[in-house]
Chains A and B, each alone.
Chain A
Amino acid sequence: MSEHGNGHAEPTSFLRKYVFSIDHKVIGKQYLFLSLFMALFGGLMAYYMRWQLAWPETAIPGAGWIPEPMAFGGIIPPEFYNALITLHGTIMVFFVGMPLLLGALGNYLVPLMIGADDMAFPRLNMMSFWTITTASLVLMASFFVEGGAASAGWTGYAPLSADPIHTGVGWGLNLWIMALALEFTSFLMGGINFLTTVVTMRVPGMTMFRLPLMVWMQITAAVLFMLSVGPLIAGAILLLLDRTVGTGFFIPERGGDPLLWQHLFWFFGHPEVYVVLLPGLGAIMEILPVFTRRPIFGYKTIVYSTIVAGALSFLVWAHHMFVSGIDPQIVMPFSITTILISVPFAVIIFAFMASLWGGSIRFTTPMLFAIGTIVTFIIGGVTGIFNGSAPVDIFIHDTYFVVAHFHFTLFPDVFLGGFAALYFWFPKMFGKMMNETLGKVHFWWTTITFNMVFIPMFLIGAGGHMRRIYNPLQYDFLKPMQDINIFITWSAVALLVGQLVFIFNFFWSMYRGKKAEDNPWEATTLEWAAAPTPPPHGNFETVPTVYHGPYEYSCPGQETDWQPQHVEKGSVAA
């Protein structure tokens, strides 16, 4: 049936309603389940890696099922270890972070927040989801082809990745490249959809500066992704040709340049960090005002800072390459831009801090996770300064200091921020409240064990502990640090086990949770205040008109302390 406006009819068959749905809410949930499912794999891989690092070359409990030649009776060989580090990184960034924060939250929230009944291109939206699902299957299948899965690191540096003779990995790495290409395609389609939706489908009164910040973060992320990924797609095609056809774009003996891959990868890689980061911060920006009952501090300053940071992110990529052999003359300029990028992010963090001041703070589970995100993310931010300083990076590059640093940025963002978002929007998505007590247990357990895992990594990194090392006991200077490695591993086990609390709470609440009201948090944005819970097909019963900004809490002279976006001040809240 043809789509007029956006009022496509509600489908009735099961397949059309839940599987090949074109409803953004269903697609958002599909992304959510995909990302949680992939997170299980990513976490499992982390567990195998950690066990190997703590007790090298011993049988890993729970790895006995892995068939040869990946593992031998639960003992993993270095080839498989390298595949684990590669796939752990790839999965967590591209198949958990992006589908969770952009795919699930973006899809579910953006149309609701701007008052639209769906995305601009619902069918394209469905295609995006099935493309990344295909990509996930391709990626998982790569474990089972001859030669095993990709093992050149998630960064896939050439020429290690460019010629199968260096790793012995054949189609595994080709499939890895194809999975990434599919993933990129999926999110390019998604980005086109988000941008078009936000530009063309806002309800009357929803000006750009009345958009909830989450929407700003989503569209900035979409632009950053769109502008950065192109050259890497080109690079991926060239890499695939080097491997399969035998060209030499990245192979010096055949006239190519291995550093080119690094330039392409990181020209994309740094903006990509923000592509994942911004929507996570966006969730925090939505949650803070609701539970402090006051407007976010410096809405416009946050928007401008985000744009500045996004623009700067295209000028810092070589900070990943300070010791790669690039001209020392260009190192310092990149070091300076890198350290300067801390300024717009500091502004955003200051805005968060100022948003707490003068509030009336309610410590609900989503709020706890939001605070946890800020508190830990600051550690990730400030440790970036060490890496960004060129002389210091000479020593800490490719050590666990770097591993700790980026886990302190991405884990708070994807997981703590992601959990904050899930606890917060779960009632809207599934019509039930999640259990608060379990939520708080989950929060404290996760935050504490997370810090126990990654703070010690700064220490061993400062001790010179290289990353991507299969067996640290090979080196005398690492042996004294082995006890810390063991401590990290136990902490990681605790961190992973603690997630069972979340999984239980998630599914239990879905079926047995208390029924959620339309607007249980008394929030002002349209998805809460104007749409029923859960929103029907088409989202709104009547089209809302927007009268003011998104965070009008505790306005003077108002009866309630929240003023929905679609209710004029002075009138009684509907």
Chain B
Amino acid sequence: MSDWFPKNISTFGGDIDSVFNLIFWIVGIGFLLGEVFIFYALFRFRRREGKKAEYVNGDLWPHVGWLIIPAAIILVLDLWIDFAGAKAYDRIKGDMPISDVVVKVDGKQFNWIITYPGPDGAFGTEDDLILENELHVPVNKVVKVLLGSKDVIHSFFVPVLRLKQDMLPGREIEAWFEATETGRYEIACAELCGYGHYTMRGFLSVHSEAEYANWLVERWPAPETEADGQQK
């Protein structure tokens, strides 16, 4: 079923997809077995003349075993899923890798306000660059996004990155990703934020390293950058 997923261009996207697949197979097989059992039982034990039903109330051993043993199997499978999930979750939400690029993304009815700190690396300074709905990042680099909101709760959702994180007003939440393929992808808001929620669409542009360097130079031509940096 993960064929239906959008393309994955994130380093940890594969972990999510593989946990999904693991659950899909475990649950899928269990589901099929269960349904086959039900339909077989319905067919085999349909009413027939002269055949009385069996009187088994199932409250005594060993009958209870017919419920407890399958339940124990479910428990073991559950734990398997939990452990696989915990590993993937730790990779994504555990210790954050050292980031190469830091960007601030704020939700605001109904736009993405994207702030680059500029060469000085600090937010709230004059060399900050503020863009609307356009997020530019280099490929194969760890990007840290600082998520916030100016009004209500939004949710930063990049399907190709398998990244979703709510953005709360009054809080800054860190998330990270590392894109593995260049291209231009869509950013969506995943949390109902008002009448314009559905229009809250942004773009993630993943550039090759050279392209990204160019993009940086275009924004912050070298001499000014240095001057700026020293002023602060």
Selecting from B98-106, B111-119, B168-176, the interface stretch reads B168-176
Q: Which residues of A contact B195 (CB under 8 A)?
A: 77-79, 82, 151, 167-168, 470
Within 8 A of A (CB), among B19-66: 19-20, 23-24, 27, 30-31, 34-35, 37-38, 41-42, 45-48, 51-59, 63-64, 66
Contact code string B64-106 (vs A, CB < 8 Å = 1, else 0): 1011101100110010011001101100111000000000000
Find out whether the CB atom of B169 lies under 8 angstroms from the CB atom of A357: no
Find out whether the CB atom of A464 lies under 8 angstroms from the CB atom of B19: no
Selecting from B2-10, B121-129, B130-138, B208-216, the interface stretch reads B2-10
* A362 CB-CB contact with B under 8 Å: yes
Tell me the bound Cα distance from A357 to B66 in angstroms.
12
Tell me the bound Cα distance from A265 to B89 in angstroms.
25
Tell me the bound Cα distance from A119 to B224 in angstroms.
82
Q: Which residues of B contact A152 (CB under 8 A)?
A: 192
* A253 CB-CB contact with B under 8 Å: yes
Find out whether the CB atom of B151 lies under 8 angstroms from the CB atom of A166: yes
Tell me the bound Cα distance from A83 to B92 in angstroms.
35
* B166 CB-CB contact with A under 8 Å: yes
* B153 CB-CB contact with A under 8 Å: yes
- Tell me if A's interface is mostly helix, strand, loop or mixed: helix
CB distance from B22 to the nearest CB of A (A): 9
* B141 CB-CB contact with A under 8 Å: no
Q: Which residues of B contact A297 (CB under 8 A)?
A: 56-58, 63, 66-67
Q: Which residues of B contact A151 (CB under 8 A)?
A: 195
Known: A325-B166, A397-B164. A476 touches B186 (CB 8 A): yes
Find out whether the CB atom of B4 lies under 8 angstroms from the CB atom of A470: no
Find out whether the CB atom of B74 lies under 8 angstroms from the CB atom of A346: yes
Find out whether the CB atom of A385 lies under 8 angstroms from the CB atom of B23: yes
- Residue from A356, A469, A472, A477 in contact with B41 in the complex, judged by beta carbons closer than 8 Å: A356
CB distance from A287 to the nearest CB of B (A): 14
Find out whether the CB atom of A395 lies under 8 angstroms from the CB atom of B58: no
- The range of chain B's interface size is 35 or more
- Residue from A85, A253, A294, A474 in contact with B53 in the complex, judged by beta carbons closer than 8 Å: A294
Find out whether the CB atom of A253 lies under 8 angstroms from the CB atom of B47: no
Q: Which residues of B contact A398 (CB under 8 A)?
A: 155, 157, 164, 190-191
Tell me the bound Cα distance from A463 to B162 in angstroms.
11
Known: A157-B192, A395-B16, A463-B6. A358 touches B54 (CB 8 A): yes
Find out whether the CB atom of B5 lies under 8 angstroms from the CB atom of A463: yes
Find out whether the CB atom of B169 lies under 8 angstroms from the CB atom of A258: yes
Find out whether the CB atom of B15 lies under 8 angstroms from the CB atom of A357: no
Tell me the bound Cα distance from A299 to B68 in angstroms.
13
- Residue from A79, A296, A332, A357 in contact with B86 in the complex, judged by beta carbons closer than 8 Å: A332
Find out whether the CB atom of B27 lies under 8 angstroms from the CB atom of A475: no
Find out whether the CB atom of A335 lies under 8 angstroms from the CB atom of B186: no
The closest CB in chain A to the CB of B168 belongs to A325
* A363 CB-CB contact with B under 8 Å: yes
CB distance from A157 to the nearest CB of B (A): 6
Within 8 A of A (CB), among B171-195: 171, 173, 185-186, 188-195
Q: Which residues of B contact A362 (CB under 8 A)?
A: 47
Tell me the bound Cα distance from A167 to B194 in angstroms.
6
- Residue from B71, B75, B167, B185 in contact with A350 in the complex, judged by beta carbons closer than 8 Å: B71
Find out whether the CB atom of B192 lies under 8 angstroms from the CB atom of A394: no
Find out whether the CB atom of B16 lies under 8 angstroms from the CB atom of A332: no
- Residue from A153, A292, A301, A328 in contact with B64 in the complex, judged by beta carbons closer than 8 Å: A301
The closest CB in chain B to the CB of A292 belongs to B53
* B146 CB-CB contact with A under 8 Å: no
Find out whether the CB atom of B82 lies under 8 angstroms from the CB atom of A554: no
- Tell me if B's interface is mostly helix, strand, loop or mixed: mixed
Tell me the bound Cα distance from A554 to B4 in angstroms.
50
The closest CB in chain A to the CB of B66 belongs to A354
Please indicate which of the listed interface residues A295, A390, A460, A470 has the most CB atoms of chain B within 10 Å of its own CB. Answer: A390
CB distance from B13 to the nearest CB of A (A): 8
* A244 CB-CB contact with B under 8 Å: no
Q: Which residues of B contact A391 (CB under 8 A)?
A: 15-16, 19, 85, 88-89, 92
* B225 CB-CB contact with A under 8 Å: no
Selecting from A59-67, A137-145, A194-202, A373-381, the interface stretch reads A373-381
* A44 CB-CB contact with B under 8 Å: no
Find out whether the CB atom of B166 lies under 8 angstroms from the CB atom of A324: yes
Find out whether the CB atom of B93 lies under 8 angstroms from the CB atom of A359: no
Find out whether the CB atom of A301 lies under 8 angstroms from the CB atom of B170: no
Find out whether the CB atom of A385 lies under 8 angstroms from the CB atom of B89: no
Find out whether the CB atom of A469 lies under 8 angstroms from the CB atom of B186: no
Find out whether the CB atom of A553 lies under 8 angstroms from the CB atom of B170: no
CB distance from A530 to the nearest CB of B (A): 21
Q: Which residues of B contact A203 (CB under 8 A)?
A: none
Find out whether the CB atom of A553 lies under 8 angstroms from the CB atom of B55: yes
Q: Which residues of B contact A561 (CB under 8 A)?
A: 52-53
Tell me the bound Cα distance from A448 to B67 in angstroms.
30
Tell me the bound Cα distance from A336 to B78 in angstroms.
8
Find out whether the CB atom of A474 lies under 8 angstroms from the CB atom of B74: no
Q: Which residues of A contact B24 (CB under 8 A)?
A: 386
- Residue from B56, B59, B196 in contact with A294 in the complex, judged by beta carbons closer than 8 Å: B56
Q: Which residues of A contact B68 (CB under 8 A)?
A: 301, 347
CB distance from A60 to the nearest CB of B (A): 17
Find out whether the CB atom of B78 lies under 8 angstroms from the CB atom of A343: yes
Q: Which residues of A contact B86 (CB under 8 A)?
A: 332, 335, 390
- Residue from B53, B70, B157 in contact with A293 in the complex, judged by beta carbons closer than 8 Å: B53
Within 8 A of B (CB), among A237-252: 252
Contact code string A60-88 (vs B, CB < 8 Å = 1, else 0): 00000000000000000111001001000
Given contacts A390-B89, A395-B162, 5 further A-B contacts (CB under 8 A): A297-B67, A342-B78, A360-B51, A375-B38, A386-B23
10 contacts between A and B (CB under 8 A): A294-B55, A295-B57, A298-B59, A358-B45, A359-B41, A386-B24, A395-B20, A398-B155, A398-B190, A462-B2
Shortest 10 CB-CB distances between A and B: which pairs?
A: A252-B170, A358-B54, A297-B58, A464-B159, A294-B53, A391-B88, A328-B93, A462-B4, A356-B41, A298-B58
